[in-house]
């Protein structure tokens, strides 16, 4: 439950949240100080002890109940997400509600298997049994961003719970009412308090990192991620970091150009480009560049912005829109050409036209820094090898995509692109396959969500050894037998000589 429900708000410690489509004030919520964060963690810790004891079956049952509540409140949740982010209702349903239901489903089906003890061959110690246990960590701190405020809060929360932990969420100060709606989803007679929500800005987030939680799962910018990791280092608190991206798209000369152009436009502009895995830069083979760019420009011009059935909504956060404008200015100053879009729309709220830019290079921020807005820069290259070189010329490595009709070439480029994820002839949606671990390399993060790896992130590993055959004493115990060296060497030679296994 949110701490804000319990106490009257201190008027000096509040944050306001606005509808980015119009600028209208939506809500005022508490900017919670460190002692309230610590109190939330302590409350969660009490429930965590009981939750860790219940079997996976009961956890699954409880989380399916959370999903039932989500489905019952789907309209209200959609409205809350849309009002605070400016995204379209269809985007909110597909990328937030559906995505979370899918994650719960995957772990409901697979958590018991992934978490069950795994036996390990004892090697030389043949008279022993050995196995690995996956145990809950305790209380997990979750800090989330504003671009997918529901999915990126719920995914670590439900995964933490499947693994037997309690959790405390600090949603983005840009989207706190989505966080409060999440708190309501976890209200429950038996297991209320398993998820606590604290609201506030960066200081509240830092207080959570320093609160004694057993792991911090942070999704946000590289800059803040580094601060989180530094603060966590003081107490050696482990971190899972899902950070920014500058995802490359490689368009080969044999690509299905119509599909590639449609994919580029969707990948760059869905959610107004505010996706960590947005297509942020395209490298297209010179042989097909003109045709590809022509199609991209036409399709971009056709995008419907806003309205009940528009393709994309507004942007969410004024400072991010300013980053978009700064990157564009820098690129144009250095010789880039804007083919379509390039301006704020003349209406209240955070509306920026979908924008396509050419004549770009890696001397421009637009090609090297995360823009996180509706801008698609396209660079022409000589061939797929050059495209791959530029794709890997980045401090980021989150998602990536390769577009070709040649299966072998696609798989070869996919193997050589330096990123945590890669899609062939598609983009972004690999995240929807919950069995695939998701996360970044290089500055894009540490650790994974989704898949078996994503669940095990929320556990600690305990290795157990026990006798298979009970001996009165082990052969190497004191006093060391005089023949130990001779017998051990003979056994070592016999066991490890080459080719033994083949015979």
Cβ pair 66, 97 in contact under 8 A: no
Would residue 242 show up in a list of annotated catalytic residues for this protein? yes
> What is the Cα–Cα distance from 280 to 367, expressed in whole angstroms?
8
Helix residue ranges per DSSP H, 148-242: 151-162, 176-185, 202-209, 222-233
- Quick one: which of 51, 106, 146, 292 contacts ligand NAD (CB under 6 A)? 146
Cα 8 from Cα 109, distance rounded (Å): 42
Burial pattern 186-214, b for ≥16 Cβ within 10 A else e, equals beeeebebbbbbbbbeeebbbbbbbbebb
**Cβ 30 to ligand NAD shortest distance, Å:** 14
* Using rule CB under 6 A, residue 202 touches ligand NAD: yes
In the complex, minimum distance from the CB of residue 219 to ligand NAD, in angstroms, rounded to a whole number: 5
Question: Got the DSSP string for 310-334?
Answer: -SB---S-HHHHHHHHHHHHHHHHT
Among 17, 78, 103, 147, binds ligand NAD (CB under 6 A): 147
Residue from 129, 227, 262, 295 binding ligand NAD (CB under 6 A): 227
User: Which residue of 201, 212, 306, 310 would you call a contact of ligand NAD, by CB under 6 A?
Assistant: 201
CB of 367 to ligand NAD, least distance (A): 16
Query: Is the bond preceding 479 in cis, omega lying within 30 degrees of 0?
Result: yes
Least gap, CB of 209 to ligand NAD (angstroms): 5
Residue closest to 86 by CA, chosen among 263, 243, 274, 220: 274
Relative orientation angle of helices 99-115 and 151-162, to the nearest 10 degrees: 20
Q: Compute φ and ψ for 17, nearest 5 degrees.
A: -125, 140
Q: Are 199 and 176 in contact, with CB atoms under 8 Å apart?
A: yes
Give the span between the Cα atoms of 218 and 170, in whole angstroms. 10
Determine which residue in the list 163, 167, 243, 260 makes contact with ligand NAD, applying CB under 6 A. 243
**Residue 16: how many other CB atoms lie within 10 Å:** 12
In angstroms, what is the minimal distance from the CB of 355 to ligand NAD? 19
Residue 173 contacts ligand NAD per CB under 6 A:
yes
Is 283 a residue that touches ligand NAD (CB under 6 A)?
no
| Of 304, 247, 271, nearest in space to 89 by CA | 271
Residue 228 engages ligand NAD in binding (rule: CB under 6 A): yes
Which of 370, 443, 455, 458 lies at the binding interface for ligand NAD (CB under 6 A)?
A: 370
Regarding 245 and contact with ligand NAD (CB under 6 A), the answer is yes
Q: Cβ(352)–Cβ(272) under 8 Å?
A: yes
Q: Does 397 bind ligand NAD (CB under 6 A)?
A: no
| Nearest by Cα to 370 from 396, 389, 399 | 396
* Region of 10-18, 55-63, 168-176, 294-302 interacting with ligand NAD (CB under 6 A): 168-176
Applying CB under 6 A, which part among 223-231, 280-288, 300-308, 478-486 lies near ligand NAD?
223-231
Q: Which of 84, 242, 280, 457 is catalytic?
A: 242
Half-sphere exposure of 311 (CA within 13 A, CB side): 18
If you ran DSSP here, which 8-state letter would residue 431 be given? G
User: For ligand NAD, how many residues bind (rule: CB under 6 A)?
Assistant: 30
Interaction of residue 176 with ligand NAD, rule CB under 6 A: no
Q: Which is nearer to ligand NAD, 164 or 377 (CB)?
A: 377
Least distance in Å: CB of 210 to ligand NAD?
9
Look at residue 2 and give its three-state secondary structure: strand
Q: In this structure, what token pair is assigned to residue 454?
A: 């994503």
Question: Does 247 engage in binding with ligand NAD (CB under 6 A)?
Answer: no
The answer to the question of residue 398 lying near ligand NAD (CB under 6 A) is yes
Minimum CB distance to ligand NAD, residue 121 (Å): 36
Cα gap 402→381, rounded to integer Å: 14
Report in angstroms how near the CB of residue 206 gets to ligand NAD at its nearest: 4
- Establish if 142 lies at the interface with ligand NAD (CB under 6 A): no
Closest CA to 90 of 78, 76, 73, 101: 78
Instruction: State the nearest-atom distance from the C-beta of 371 to ligand NAD, in Å.
Output: 10
Stretch that binds ligand NAD, among 9-17, 110-118, 145-153, 411-419 (CB under 6 A): 145-153
> Does 396 interact with ligand NAD (rule: CB under 6 A)?
no
| 321 is an interface residue for ligand NAD by CB under 6 A | no
Residue with smaller CB distance to ligand NAD, 221 or 425: 221
Helices (H) and strands (E) in the chain, counts: 17, 18
Neighbours of 17 (CB within 10 A): 21
Q: Quote the CA–CA distance of 135 and 164 in Å, as a whole number.
A: 8
Binding mask 85-124 for ligand NAD (x = CB under 6 A): ----------------------------------------
Catalytic residues: 242, 276
Binding site for ligand NAD (CB under 6 A): 143-147, 152, 170, 172-173, 201-202, 205-206, 209, 219-221, 224, 227-228, 242-245, 276, 370, 372, 398, 440, 445
């Amino acid at each position: 439950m949110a701490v804000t429900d319990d106490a009257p708000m201190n008027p000096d410690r509040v944050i306001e949240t606005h509808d980015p489509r119009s600028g209208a004030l939506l809500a005022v919520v508490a900017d919670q100080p460190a002692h309230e964060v610590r109190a939330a963690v302590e409350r969660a810790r009490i429930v965590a002890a009981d939750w860790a004891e219940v079997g996976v079956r009961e956890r699954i049952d409880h989380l399916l109940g959370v999903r039932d509540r989500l489905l019952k409140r789907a309209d209200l949740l959609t409205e809350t997400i849309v009002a605070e982010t400016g995204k379209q209702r269809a985007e909110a349903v597909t990328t937030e509600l559906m995505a979370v239901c899918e994650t719960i489903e995957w772990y409901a089906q697979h958590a018991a298997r992934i978490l069950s003890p795994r036996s390990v061959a004892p090697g030389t110690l043949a008279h022993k049994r050995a196995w690995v246990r996956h145990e809950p960590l305790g209380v997990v701190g979750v800090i989330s961003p504003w671009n997918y405020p529901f999915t990126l809060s719920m995914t670590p929360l439900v995964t933490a719970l499947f693994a037997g932990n309690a959790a405390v969420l600090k949603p983005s100060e840009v989207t706190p009412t989505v966080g409060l709606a999440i708190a309501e989803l976890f209200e429950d007679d038996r297991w209320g308090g398993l998820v606590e929500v604290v609201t506030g800005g960066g200081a509240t987030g830092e207080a959570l990192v320093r609160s004694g939680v057993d792991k911090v799962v942070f999704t946000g910018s590289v800059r803040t991620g580094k601060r989180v990791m530094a603060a966590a280092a003081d107490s050696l608190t482990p971190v899972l970091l899902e950070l920014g991206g500058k995802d490359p798209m490689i368009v080969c000369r044999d690509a299905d150009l119509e599909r590639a152009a449609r994919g580029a436009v969707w990948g760059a502009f869905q959610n107004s480009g505010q996706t960590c895995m947005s297509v942020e830069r395209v490298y297209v083979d010179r042989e097909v560049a003109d045709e590809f760019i022509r199609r991209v420009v036409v399709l971009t011009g056709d995008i419907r912005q806003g309205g009940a059935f528009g393709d994309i909504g507004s942007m969410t956060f004024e400072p991010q829109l300013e980053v978009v404008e700064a990157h564009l200015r820098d690129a144009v100053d250095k010789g880039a050409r804007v083919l379509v879009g390039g301006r704020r729309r003349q209406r209240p709220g955070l509306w920026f036209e979908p924008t396509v830019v050419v004549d770009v290079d890696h001397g421009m921020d637009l090609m090297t820094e995360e823009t996180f807005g509706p801008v698609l820069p396209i660079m022409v290259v000589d061939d797929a090898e050059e495209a791959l070189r530029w794709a890997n010329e980045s401090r980021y490595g989150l998602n990536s995509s390769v577009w070709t009709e040649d299966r072998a070439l696609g798989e070869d480029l996919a193997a050589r692109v330096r990123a945590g994820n890669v899609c062939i002839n598609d983009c972004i949606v690999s995240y929807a396959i919950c069995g695939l671990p998701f996360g970044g390399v290089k500055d894009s993060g540490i650790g994974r969500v989704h898949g078996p790896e994503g669940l095990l992130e929320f556990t600690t590993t305990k290795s157990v050894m026990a006798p298979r055959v009970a001996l009165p004493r082990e052969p190497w115990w004191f006093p060391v037998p005089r023949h130990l060296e001779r017998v051990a060497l003979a056994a070592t030679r016999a066991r490890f000589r080459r080719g033994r296994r083949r015979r």
